[in-house]
């Protein structure tokens, strides 16, 4: 029997990985991903140090819902039910909801569902970049996204088709959801938000200032999960950056951003979200990767997925 070279390479990678990391930390990181034009589906990257990333080389979930059947901005969280919950953008323009699916192992996924969250907004232009967060205080999930509702807010410097604000819903079971509410209005168009819980009554919001003159990443702070988020920072990244994702390792937070005008990724390191150090030269990201969410997992999960991918290949 002739064994495909790709399978041989995958098996070697598993063996080498096991040898290298047997005595190291039991932690690893997963980075959800997609490739343009976003019609293939969910990709996953993995890392053992939160700096250097590898692609599993597999499409884990093909988008089947939404008018355009795309998957952009995939965001995942591991809940108290020992389940991974995934949400994503299903339409670039139009649409009033986002996609949802769940998995116990990142390999096998539930049937996809379309979660309509802006059905009561007849003029809404989009539902972009849903981001999911598990609140262990209330044992519920919060999902944040950006929508443009023309003439809802002061125009500022933006056209009415680019004047986004952040909204949210909550759920405990992904069957029933709260009514949507405004989550964050900094006084300008904003998208791509992710929440970091640093401790009790200590939350950071990392988001994109989407005004045409800026298009960069900023942070804001709150003492409750739902805000209000205040103290909006100056830009912490260059222009034409979006899709921030944060990895927590040791005492450091690594903020990854999609530097889309350069077709590359940048990264910052911070301990306090007030001072930042550029560490772009210390990271490596596979070509074609587009932004999603970074979560910390057990190393044995990554090794299990690698083995399953090798078997399927």
Low-confidence ranges of the chain (pLDDT < 50): 1-3, 7-12, 14-23
Question: Quick one: which of 143, 161, 151 has its CA closest to 79?
Answer: 143
d(CA 203, CA 197): 5
DSSP 8-class letter at 34 = B
CA distance 29 to 78: 12
Query: What's residue 276's pLDDT?
Result: 98
Q: What is the pLDDT of residues 64-102, one digit of tens each?
A: 999 999 999 999 999 999 999 999 999 999 999 999 999
Rounded Cα gap, residues 147 and 190, in angstroms: 9
pLDDT in tens, 256-299: 999 999 999 999 999 999 999 999 999 999 999 999 999 999 99
Strand partners, 257: 266
pTM metric for this prediction: 0.91
Residue ranges of the alpha helices (H) in the chain?
5-21, 299-312
Encoded tokens for 150 = 């023309």
Q: Structural domains in the chain?
A: 26-301 (2.115.10.20)
pLDDT attached to residue 245: 98
Torsions phi, psi for 107 (to 5 deg): -100, -50
Strand stretches in the chain, DSSP E: 27-33, 43-47, 54-55, 72-78, 84-89, 97-103, 113-116, 128-135, 140-148, 164-171, 181-184, 190-199, 202-209, 216-222, 242-249, 252-259, 264-270, 277-278, 294-298
């Amino acid at each position: 029997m002739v064994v495909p070279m790709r399978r041989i390479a995958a098996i070697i990678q598993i063996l080498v990985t096991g040898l290298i990391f047997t005595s190291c930390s039991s932690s690893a990181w997963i980075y959800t991903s997609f490739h343009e034009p976003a019609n293939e589906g969910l990709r996953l990257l993995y890392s053992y140090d939160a700096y250097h990333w590898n692609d599993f080389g597999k499409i884990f979930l093909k988008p089947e819902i939404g008018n355009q059947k795309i998957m952009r901005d995939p965001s995942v969280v591991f809940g108290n039910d020992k389940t991974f919950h995934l949400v994503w953008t299903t339409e670039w323009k139009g649409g009033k909801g986002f996609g949802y699916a769940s998995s116990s192992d990142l390999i096998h996924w539930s049937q996809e569902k379309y979660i309509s969250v802006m059905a009561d907004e007849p003029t809404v232009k989009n539902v972009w970049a849903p981001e999911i967060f598990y609140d262990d205080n209330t044992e519920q999930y919060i999902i944040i996204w950006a929508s443009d509702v023309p003439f809802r807010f002061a125009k500022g410097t933006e056209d009415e088709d680019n004047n986004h604000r952040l909204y949210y819903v909550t759920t405990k079971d992904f069957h029933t959801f709260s009514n949507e509410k405004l989550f964050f209005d900094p006084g300008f168009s904003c998208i791509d938000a992710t929440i970091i819980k640093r401790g009790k009554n200590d939350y950071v919001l990392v988001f994109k200032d989407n005004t045409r003159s800026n298009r960069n990443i900023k942070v804001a702070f709150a003492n409750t999960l739902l805000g209000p988020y205040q103290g909006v920072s100056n830009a912490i990244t260059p222009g034409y950056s979006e899709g921030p994702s944060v990895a927590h390792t040791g005492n450091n937070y690594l903020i990854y951003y999609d530097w889309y005008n350069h077709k590359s990724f940048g990264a910052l390191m911070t301990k306090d979200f007030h001072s930042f150090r550029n560490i772009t030269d210390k990271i490596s990201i596979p070509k074609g990767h587009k932004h999603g969410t970074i979560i910390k997992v057990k190393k044995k999960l990554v090794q299990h997925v690698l083995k399953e991918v090798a078997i399927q290949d």
